[in-house]
Amino acid sequence: MVRNVKVGRRQAPVAGQTAPANDDTETARQVIDAAVGCILECGFYRASTNEIARRAGVTWGVIQYYFGTREGLMLAVLNDGARRFVELVQGVHVVGETVVERIENLADILLDHYGSPEYTAYLQVLLNMDHDPRTSAEVRRTMREVAERSHDNVRRLLREALGPAASIPDLATTVFLVLRGFGFSQQLLDTMAYDAVAPKTDRLARQRRLLADMLTPYIEAVGTF
């Protein structure tokens, strides 16, 4: 279900536009999903509104009816990604008997978002529209809002994973950044030439455990102070 997606102001259809015949939320969801798929396959700049409309099974008029412009649609994609992350961190807890287990569990939680193909589409939108004077202010406002809405829950997850060590801001932030980067890197491994040197069988599980093993001694040592 589409919630908290901020788009351009919707107006009544004008001549040449086709108003949606089915549920508003369902149609908007179809268009956003089609845009994400198109960005992933074609790239941000080649994801045209015509191709997105074709994939969504709607007309350009329908896209214009909901989002106004291509920029409005791309901002809706970014907002949808932000909503998904906020809902993710609101609804989960880190579990595990040991620090290693908890770090692995936190990595799995963040992988759900940062390791997903959709995140690469959100990132393309973010990087390209942040450099566009027409949209940069809206993009930065969106990212500030998602940071504010997710901050308390992200800090909670870090406390659940790190224990007393989470009271050290630089450590907690660094762990989050490392795990975020680890999640995103999983989307790049299959396309990077040097990945051929690493066996792919159970690669994610092995690398996740190695990362947790590397972080744990420092976290445990800091937590005893």
User: Cα separation of 223 and 208, whole Å?
Assistant: 22
DSSP-assigned states of every residue in the chain? ---S---SPP----TT----SS-HHHHHHHHHHHHHHHHHHH-TTT--HHHHHHHHT--HHHHHHHHSSHHHHHHHHHHHHHHHHHHHHHS-----SSHHHHHHHHHHHHHHHHTSHHHHHHHHHHHHHHT-TTTHHHHHHHHHHHHHHHHHHHHHHHHHHHGGGGGSHHHHHHHHHHHHHHHHHTTTGGGSGGGGGS--TTHHHHHHHHHHHHHHHHHHHHHT-
Cα–Cα distance between 187 and 98 in angstroms, integer? 28
> Which pLDDT value is given to residue 67?
94
Answer whether 35's CB lies under 8 Å from 77's CB: yes
Residue-wise pLDDT tens digits, 5-58: 344 434 433 334 444 444 568 999 999 999 999 999 999 999 999 999 999 999
Determine the Cα–Cα distance for residues 196 and 210; give it in Å rounded to an integer.
19
In 3D space, the residue among 167, 180, 155, 154 whose CA is nearest the CA of residue 219 turns out to be 167
How much is the pTM? 0.81
Biggest CA-to-CA distance, the chain: 70
User: What is the rounded distance in angstroms from the CA atom of residue 208 to the CA atom of residue 110?
Assistant: 12
Give me 126's structure tokens: 């973010």
pLDDT (tens, 9 = 90+) of the chain, 225 residues, equals: 333 334 443 443 333 444 444 456 899 999 999 999 999 999 999 999 999 999 999 999 999 999 999 999 999 999 999 999 999 999 899 999 999 999 999 999 999 999 999 999 999 999 999 999 989 999 999 999 999 999 999 999 999 999 999 999 899 999 999 999 999 988 877 666 555 566 667 888 888 999 999 999 988 887 554
Q: Of the candidates 71, 65, 57, 160, which has an alpha carbon nearest to the alpha carbon of residue 110?
A: 160
* Structural domains of the chain, ranges and CATH numbers in brackets: 24-223 (1.10.357.10)
Query: Tokens standing for 155?
Result: 């800090």
